[in-house]
Amino acid sequence: MQLGRFQIDLLNDGVMRFDGGAFFGVVPKALWERLMAPDERNRVTVNLNCALIRAGGKTILVDTGVGTKHPEKRRGIFAMAAGNLPDQLRQRGIEPEEIDYVVLSHLHFDHAGGATHYTGTKELRTTFPRAQHLVQRADWEEATSPNERNAAGYFEEDIEPLRSNRQLELLDGDTEVLPGVWCRRTGGHTAGHQIVVLEVDGRSACFFGDLIPTVHHLPLPYSQGYDLYPIELLDQKRRLLDQAVREQWLVVFDHETEHPAGYLERSGQGRLQLRPVDL
């Protein structure tokens, strides 16, 4: 869809499955299983949504999905069926070489995995060879010196080639990377988690990353067990959702399967509802 001078396309690298308990944190299964039905291994299917933004001759990708590099065992644990992002770009007439910027909401493998791939001869390459990859410095630092709790979320082969290929640009907090294209550091999910906010002609669009991964995570207490800083996340979520409703932002959810984008409204009881739109 068109938002002012921005052309926005929703892309999908594929699907994978997360443990339902981990995906809903402290919410009891008796509640979340009514929203997302688990499989026999208690996993829920999530999309790996990415966004393509075009404006002023520049091409920006928001997140890259999980990609194709994962060994068989890991693919099985997460039921990964992904790696569609390059084809999805080509279907819209864009070659991976034409991407100018890749904004990574954070460096967890389900968002940064598609940024690199193995060639047919098993060489590790960046998928978007001309792109600068924009990452918050705090996220890079956390990802490259993880602790015992968060280490399982990062893989060196996802992120090290960005640095060694000089395709990495570290941001220190909120940054307007192109006119009207903001990377806003939220923290919460990880220390340097960022969202992308577009601002044009009094209208805005927001790509929430893992701050609010699906419409089922709109209620304030519904957040992921993977969140490293849950109280920070709660504060950011409360503030951003209020603003999104008040200013009628177009909102986009990274892991939502049914209604990845739309506008938020409050019902009579104050509950948030999404009015879906197609991107």
Residues forming contacts to Zn ion in the complex (CB under 5 A) are 110, 210
Q: Residue 121 Cβ, how far from Zn ion at the closest point, in Å? A: 30
Q: Residue 56 Cβ, how far from Zn ion at the closest point, in Å? A: 29
> Between 111 and 117, whose beta carbon lies closer to Zn ion?
111
Q: Residue 110 Cβ, how far from Zn ion at the closest point, in Å? A: 4
> Between 110 and 158, whose beta carbon lies closer to Zn ion?
110
Q: Which amino acid is at 264?
A: L
Of 97, 101, 90, 88, nearest to 10 by C-alpha is 88
> Between 180 and 213, whose beta carbon lies closer to Zn ion?
213
> Between 199 and 224, whose beta carbon lies closer to Zn ion?
224
Question: Using an 8 Å Cβ cutoff, are 256 and 48 in contact?
Answer: no
> Between 22 and 37, whose beta carbon lies closer to Zn ion?
22
Pairing of strands 2-3, 58-62: unpaired
Q: Residue 139 Cβ, how far from Zn ion at the closest point, in Å? A: 13
Q: Residue 163 Cβ, how far from Zn ion at the closest point, in Å? A: 22
> Between 142 and 210, whose beta carbon lies closer to Zn ion?
210
Of 159, 194, 202, nearest to 176 by C-alpha is 194
Q: Residue 256 Cβ, how far from Zn ion at the closest point, in Å? A: 11
